[in-house]
Amino acid sequence: MKQYPIAIVGGGPAGLTAAYELTKNGKQTLVLEKGDKVGGIARTEVYKGYRFDIGGHRFFTKVGEVNELWHEVLGDEFIEVPRLSRIYYQGKFFDYPLSLLNTLGNLGVFTSFMILMSYLNAKAKAAIRRPEVETFEDWVTHCFGRRLYLTFFKTYTEKVWGIPCNKIQAEWAIQRIRGVSLKRAVLSALFQNKSKATTSLIKSFQYPILGPGMMWERFEEIINEKGSEVWREATVTRISRENHQITGITVEQAGSTEEIVAEHYISSMPITALVSRLDPPPPESVLQAARSLSYRAFLIVALIVNIDDLFPDNWIYIHAPEAKVGRIQNFKNWSPAMVPEKGKTCLGMEYFCTEGDEIWTMKDEDLIALATQEMVNLGFGTPPDVQDGTVIRQPKAYPVYDRSYRQHLEVIREFLEPFENLQTVGRNGMHRYNNQDHSMLTGLLAARNLLGEEHDLWNVNTERSYYEEFTTEELKNQEGSELSMSSSSL
C-alpha cells in the first residue's frame, strides 16, 4: 500500500493542470493515466515522424490564468497560426465565417434569398410568440430559420452525433454556437465589419510548434521534477469508499496491482466509470443513471500524401451527406514541423462513430482504403498519391447531450456531492462538452479548493472559454480578471 497526499485519476488537461498547480504550491501528488501518453484527447500522436492531433486543438482562450499557464510551461515554443476553415457542401467550398459573394456564388441568388426569407419568417414568428426551444433543431431554426438549418446544420450535426437533431438538447447548441448571428454575418459581409463594437471570429491562434502533446509532456516533466509522480498505463480498477469518503483506489500497471491511499482525490476519468468502480456500489438508481449516459467515439485516419500543398485550410468541415468523413485536418497548416518530409502532406480524416458500430470495428486497412477513396472523391488527389496511413481510435471522445442526459447526470451529481475528499473535473469527469481551456480551468479550481479556496466546479461560468465571438468591450472587462471568481460569480 502506497500513501500520497493527493491522488489524481486522469492525465489529461484537467488532471495535469491540477497536479501542476498543487505541486507548484508544495503539495505532493500522484497522477494516474490509463494511456501510454499524457494529454488525453489533447495528446499528439506520432507515426513515422509525422505528428497529428486527435481532433485539432487550437490554443485560444478568454481565461487569463489558463493563458498564463500555457506560456509559463511552454515559454516561446508557440507559433502564431492563421485561422482558416471552410465548409464543403454540394461539391463546393463555403467560407467560414460567411462571405456574401462566396455564399451567393455557391448557393445561387434564389436559394440565398429563400434562406433570408426563412430567417425573417422565424424572427417574425418569435416576435409574436416566443417558441419553446428544447432541442438542437428548435434552437437553430429559431435563430437562423429552417432553410439554413437544413442547409448547413442538420446533416453535419447528425453525422457528428449519430442521432437526429430533434433528440439533441438545445443546451449543446447554446454552448457551441451561441453568439453567431445571421444578421451580423450578413451586415459584416456587406460592410466588411467596419463596426468598432464587434470583433469577429478569431483570425489566428497559438499552437505549440510540435503539437498540443508538447504542452502536456512538458507539464509531466515539471511535475516529476518537482517531486510528484505521473504513472502512465495505470488503470484504476476499484475505488473503495466508506459512506461519502474515498478510502483508497486499486491500480493495475504492468501486470501488477497497487493499493493507493490518499487524503484527497481528483478524478477526470469518465464519470460513468467512476460510479461503476465504487466499492461498495452506489444505489441502483445511480448505477442506472450512469448506464444511461452515452458518448460518441471518434477515430482519425492519418494519410501521408505525396503532394506538397493540398489546400490552405487548417481544417475543412464535410457537410456532404454522401461522405462518411466528418472533418479533414491538414496538419502541415497547423505547424510545418508536424510533417518531417518536404513535398508531403499529412491529412487527418476524422470519423465520428459509436464504439462497436461499423466504422469503429472496421479493419485498419479498410479504414485507410475508405479514407483514401473519400479524399479522392472530394478532389484532393488520386489513390497513388497516398503513401501510407495509420488509424487512431478514441473512445468516449464526446459526452452526448441527448434529451435525457441532464436528469441522469443530476442523479449522479447528487450522489457524489456529499463526498468530502473527491472532486470531479474535465470533459469526461463532468460529462460536459468543453474545450481544453475549460478543462484546465476546472482542474485549476479543484487544486485551489485544496489550497483553501472555495469554488463550486459545477457552476463554473463556461461561456468565456467556449465562444470565439466576443465584443471588444468584453475583452476589456476580462483582461486581468478571469479568475477573480468568488462564490457570487460562480
Q: Which range has the top average pLDDT, 119-128, 269-278, 466-475?
A: 269-278
Spatial separation of the C-alpha atoms in residues 343 and 318, rounded to whole Å: 25
Q: Which residue has the higher pLDDT, 48 or 175?
A: 48
Query: What average pLDDT does the chain have?
Result: 88
pLDDT at 169 over 60: yes
pLDDT at 181 over 70: no
Rounded average pLDDT over 177-187: 56
Residues in the chain: 490
Rounded average pLDDT over 57-73: 93
Identify the pLDDT of residue 461.
Answer: 55
Segment 94-119, tens digit of pLDDT: 987 667 788 889 999 999 899 889 99
Identify the pLDDT of residue 202.
Answer: 75
Position 143 confidence tier, pLDDT thresholds 50, 70, 90: confident
Please report which helix (H) or strand (E) contains residue 328, including its range.
Answer: strand 327-330
C-alpha torsion sign, points 138, 155, 92, 84? positive
Of 314, 328, 312, 310, residue with least CA distance to 381:
310
Range in 355-359, 371-375, 447-451, 476-480 with the lowest mean pLDDT: 476-480
Position 485 confidence tier, pLDDT thresholds 50, 70, 90: very low
Buried b (16+ CB within 10 A) or exposed e, 286-299: bbebbebbbbbbbb
Identify the pLDDT of residue 176.
Answer: 63
Spatial separation of the C-alpha atoms in residues 297 and 175, rounded to whole Å: 20
The residues facing 47 across adjacent strands are 50
pLDDT at 484 over 70: no
Of 5, 10, 57, 6, residue with least CA distance to 430:
10
Spatial separation of the C-alpha atoms in residues 35 and 274, rounded to whole Å: 17
Range in 167-181, 237-251, 415-429 with the lowest mean pLDDT: 167-181
Identify the pLDDT of residue 178.
Answer: 52
Q: Read out DSSP for 243-307?
A: TTEEEEEEEEETTEEEEEEEEEEEE-S-HHHHHHTEESPPPHHHHHHHHH--EEEEEEEEEEES-
Identify the pLDDT of residue 183.
Answer: 60
Exposed (0-12), middle (13-18) or buried (19+): which is 161, by Cβ within 10 Å?
A: buried
Range in 270-274, 348-352, 400-404 with the lowest mean pLDDT: 400-404
Position 129 confidence tier, pLDDT thresholds 50, 70, 90: confident
Buried b (16+ CB within 10 A) or exposed e, 18-43: bbbbbbeeebebbbbbbeebbbbbbb
pLDDT at 271 over 80: yes
Spatial separation of the C-alpha atoms in residues 10 and 73, rounded to whole Å: 19
Rounded average pLDDT over 313-334: 95
Spatial separation of the C-alpha atoms in residues 69 and 59, rounded to whole Å: 12
Range in 239-243, 283-287, 381-385, 466-470 with the lowest mean pLDDT: 466-470
Range in 36-40, 77-81, 399-403, 478-482 with the lowest mean pLDDT: 478-482
Position 488 confidence tier, pLDDT thresholds 50, 70, 90: very low
pLDDT at 153 over 70: yes
Of 267, 231, 268, residue with least CA distance to 251:
231
Position 185 confidence tier, pLDDT thresholds 50, 70, 90: low
Domains within the chain, CATH numbers bracketed? 2-45+65-70+209-291+403-478 (3.50.50.60), 98-191 (no CATH), 295-399 (3.90.660.20)
Position 180 confidence tier, pLDDT thresholds 50, 70, 90: low
Identify the pLDDT of residue 326.
Answer: 96
Segment 434-483, tens digit of pLDDT: 889 999 999 999 999 999 999 999 887 544 444 444 333 443 343 333 33
Question: Given the C-alpha cell 429559431, which residue does it identify?
Answer: 142
For residue 123, the one-letter residue type is K
**Number of helices and strands in the chain (H, E):** 19, 21
Identify the pLDDT of residue 486.
Answer: 24
Position 173 confidence tier, pLDDT thresholds 50, 70, 90: confident
pTM of the predicted structure, to 2 decimals:
0.89
Position 172 confidence tier, pLDDT thresholds 50, 70, 90: confident
